[in-house]
Structure 1
């Protein structure tokens, strides 16, 4: 199971690299050679959408997303666990609904034949890859929920680096 989780995180990291590379190459070519990559803007926005959904998958399992822990920090370990379970169940519900609606967007984009501006490439494959990232998020949040309820010892807390 941990190998599956790690592979999803690596896919998210790869999309970070792809988005950065697309931006760097586009700026470099425009600045020094006065040429641009066809559809670089479309690719950038579509890849950024993919990155966001895969990023949700990567951060949701580890619990490394932005949190507000004023109540949690002042609770006993027993109540901290219950807060974690409740918050993860809410997140699971929200991301599941989001995944359902994103699938509708994939289908609509496919049937509407939405294309990129320059190369006239279909947009739906990008939306589909983003949807797969969202499905991965649902799976990882479900795994997190299961582990929080039944095997909390399997949950590895991220190590926070402090400046000394």
Structure 2
């Protein structure tokens, strides 16, 4: 079902990590609008509700109102100016979150066509850990994976062995 290319490779790693820590019987609030990975979670038996596209830097109402067991945030926190604020508001006791890692050989992602599709942050793993811990989360497990491309050049070569994605399971 999942090939070894983007975004399918990322989805495969994310689903494997999610299955390792979260039971399908747990209810999930997925930060961000309904998306292809939300559909994959549902296809795999998870009960998922998404936020509705509100600006999570200033509007925490859906997070505060949720009684979900788990909050997931897959490539969301890098788009927020202040991810600490929403992390503090989560009532669930389990969190699964992934981020793209900062790459020393590439500038932060910025869409040329979509003004909302930009990264305010691209964390190093220790920075994301520190953010979670400061917001009251205890990290239980982490994983990283690469995102190679089929292009030729120095950057594509570096992507073969430089981790691009980082995922964390944390509890309160």
State the TM-score, normalized to the length of structure 1: 0.29
Q: Could you tell me the TM-score, scaled by structure 2's length?
A: 0.28
Does 1 or 2 have the higher relative contact order (CA < 8 Å, sep 6+)? 1
Q: Larger % of helix: which?
A: 1
Larger Rg: 1
